[in-house]
């Protein structure tokens, strides 16, 4: 018998919020039927209007708050929720940290894995922490605007202060926007794949204060290029690098493969854990260096390294973890699929006079299988995979190599729990409590460090 849906679209209901989803939406239930409501928190009561009904859940919006949570902070700006820039801005920061710890616990509980999760390591100031911004440039109401996409759409909402970015980056974006307006550069229109400027990216070293501006264009030609560069430098005299990146494809990918240096250097420098890094326009470099230092220090500490150890760093990027590890051990091998990142990693090793590292461009799972076949016997393996987690074949190769310890740096607790379960089936167990680290305050993302040891 078909179950009746207990709510009707456009009707109003009084509900109590009893949970938050991993996306930070409040959950209410009517006859056990879940309704997801933006900008609500557990223990709040509200009158809501149902705006969308599916067969197993619905979405609602708040019409009136009846009881507010003591953890609610009045929003800095509604636009940060609308665009998804800061979906947890209405939740007090200590409650955000508790929410993130709870998310890790829940993902392990779902798989029946018993483990202890420590309190999330947070920031003293959980705002203006991002050292990189990439913002779309579009025509909005007949005017060139920079901003961010409204959630689940390609409509740009004009924004001048992004709240979670380095304030100098916010100022730079506005200066570039005004210069582009002055020279009447045409913004990209993705519906017809026309227009010149697609995105503006700004990177700024937290310690070096070096700044790079990247103008991402659809066309090779950037009209009035010299005038634009000169005007940007008038507004922002301390900019170290201006790059034009050409992305002529019909794609959601942010950047193309062609970089043209318009001013200054092709890279900027920054320091992390006492090491210097060259960062190019396309380098992956952690966007919250303050928390990255805590995260990587934890990974090194929990790896329990010995001077004679051989370590593999899977997903090594531009070598940030590898070079940190190399200072404590005999040899480090790093693998990363992006060839340009490996070139950066090799340069960064030279820059820091570190010789006991070897970097290879390859898929992590393929290279691990190759190293295993070659008889490489690492003492410790560090993995820092993307959100999709580890490939099953990589876990198999790691198990065959039988390192004493696997240090798993995760950015997604759901795939972490799944991968830990696979490791457990191959004779590994969690050694210490899991340590979450808040790399992305005001958002729902969670990083963590987990140590696995062979039983």
- At 372-401, the pLDDT tens digits run 899 999 999 999 999 999 999 999 999 999
Q: What is the pLDDT of residue 384?
A: 93
**Active-site option among 5, 106, 254, 411:** 411
Flag whether pLDDT at 2 surpasses 70.
no
Q: Is 338 left (phi over 0), alpha (psi -120 to 50) or beta?
A: beta
pLDDT band at 283 (very low <50, low <70, confident <90, very high): confident
Q: Residues 287-291: what's their mean pLDDT? A: 94
More confident residue, 149 or 311: 311
Q: What is the pLDDT of residue 67?
A: 95
Chain-centroid distance, C-alpha 315: 15
Dihedral (CA of 257, 258, 264, 266) sign: positive
**What residue spans in the chain does CATH classification 3.40.50.150 cover?**
288-454
Instruction: Report the percent of the chain where pLDDT is more than 70.
Output: 99
**What residue spans in the chain does CATH classification 2.40.50.1070 cover?**
132-272
pLDDT digits (tens, 9 = 90+) for 16-38: 999 888 888 999 999 999 999 99
Flag whether pLDDT at 1 surpasses 70.
no
More confident residue, 166 or 74: 166
pLDDT digits (tens, 9 = 90+) for 143-199: 999 998 888 788 888 888 888 999 999 999 999 999 999 999 999 998 899 999 999
Q: Which residue has the tokens 């705002």?
A: 127
Architecture of domain 132-272: Beta Barrel (2.40)
Cα dist. 24→39, 40, 89, 250, 402 in Å?
Answer: 8, 9, 10, 32, 39
Cα dist. 402→342, 380, 395, 430 in Å?
Answer: 26, 9, 11, 15
Q: Mean pLDDT for the chain? A: 93
The CATH H-level (homologous superfamily) assignment of domain 288-454 is: Vaccinia Virus protein VP39 (3.40.50.150)
Q: What is the pLDDT of residue 160?
A: 85
pLDDT digits (tens, 9 = 90+) for 40-65: 999 999 999 999 999 999 999 999 99
pLDDT digits (tens, 9 = 90+) for 229-254: 999 999 999 999 999 999 999 988 89
**What residue spans in the chain does CATH classification 2.40.50.140 cover?**
12-72
Q: Residues 266-295: what's their mean pLDDT? A: 92
Read off the pTM.
Answer: 0.89
| Residue 15 to residue 172: CA distance in whole angstroms | 44
* CATH, domain range 12-72: 2.40.50.140
Flag whether pLDDT at 83 surpasses 90.
no
| Residue 49 to residue 180: CA distance in whole angstroms | 42
Instruction: Report the percent of the chain where pLDDT is more than 90.
Output: 82
Quote the tokens at residue 435: 């340590």
- Quick one: which of 37, 30, 36 has its CA closest to 4? 30
Catalytic residue list contains 316? no
pLDDT band at 4 (very low <50, low <70, confident <90, very high): confident
Cα dist. 281→160, 244, 258, 341, 371 in Å?
Answer: 23, 9, 10, 11, 31
Flag whether pLDDT at 262 surpasses 60.
yes
Q: What is the pLDDT of residue 75?
A: 67
């Amino acid at each position: 018998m078909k179950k009746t849906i207990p709510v009707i679209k456009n009707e109003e209901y009084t509900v109590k919020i009893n949970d938050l989803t991993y996306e930070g939406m409040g959950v209410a239930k009517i006859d056990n039927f879940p309704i997801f409501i933006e900008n609500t928190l557990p223990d709040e009561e509200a009158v809501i209007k149902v705006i969308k009904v599916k067969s197993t859940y619905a979405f609602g919006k708040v019409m009136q708050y009846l009881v507010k949570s003591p953890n609610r902070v009045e929003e800095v700006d509604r636009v940060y929720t609308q665009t998804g820039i800061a979906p947890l801005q209405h939740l007090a920061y200590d409650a955000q940290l508790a929410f993130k710890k709870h998310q890790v616990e829940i993902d392990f509980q779902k798989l029946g894995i018993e483990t202890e999760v420590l309190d999330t390591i947070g920031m003293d100031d959980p705002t203006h922490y991002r050292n990189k911004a990439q913002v779309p440039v579009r025509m909005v109401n007949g005017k060139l605007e920079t901003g961010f996409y409204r959630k689940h759409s390609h409509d740009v909402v004009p924004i001048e202060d992004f709240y979670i970015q380095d304030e100098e980056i916010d100022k730079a974006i506005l200066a570039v926007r005004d210069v582009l307006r002055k020279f009447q550069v045409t913004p990209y229109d993705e519906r017809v794949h026309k227009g010149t400027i697609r995105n503006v990216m700004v990177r700024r070293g937290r310690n070096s204060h070096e700044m790079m501006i990247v103008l991402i264009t659809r066309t090779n030609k950037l009209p009035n290029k010299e005038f634009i560069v000169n005007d940007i430098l008038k507004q922002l005299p301390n900019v170290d690098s201006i790059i034009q990146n050409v992305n002529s494809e019909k794609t959601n990918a942010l950047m193309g493969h062609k970089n043209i240096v318009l001013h200054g250097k092709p890279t900027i420098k920054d320091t992390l854990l006492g090491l210097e890094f060259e960062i190019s326009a396309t380098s992956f470099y952690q966007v919250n260096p303050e928390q990255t230092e805590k995260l990587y220090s934890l990974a090194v500490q929990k790896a329990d390294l010995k001077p004679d150890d051989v370590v593999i760093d899977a997903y090594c990027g531009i070598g940030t973890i590898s070079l940190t590890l190399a200072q404590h051990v005999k040899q480090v091998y790093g693998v990363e699929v992006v060839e340009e990142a490996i070139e950066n990693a090799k340069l960064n090793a030279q820059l820091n006079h570190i010789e006991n590292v070897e970097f290879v461009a390859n898929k992590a799972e393929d290279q691990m299988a190759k190293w295993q076949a070659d008889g490489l016997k690492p003492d410790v393996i560090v993995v820092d995979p993307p959100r999709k987690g580890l490939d099953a074949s990589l876990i198999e190769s790691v198990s065959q190599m039988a390192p004493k310890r696997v240090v798993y740096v995760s950015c997604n607790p759901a795939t972490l729990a799944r991968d830990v379960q696979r490791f457990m089936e191959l004779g590994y167990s969690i050694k210490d409590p899991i340590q979450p680290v808040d790399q992305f305050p005001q958002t729902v993302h969670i990083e963590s460090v987990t140590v696995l040891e062979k039983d």
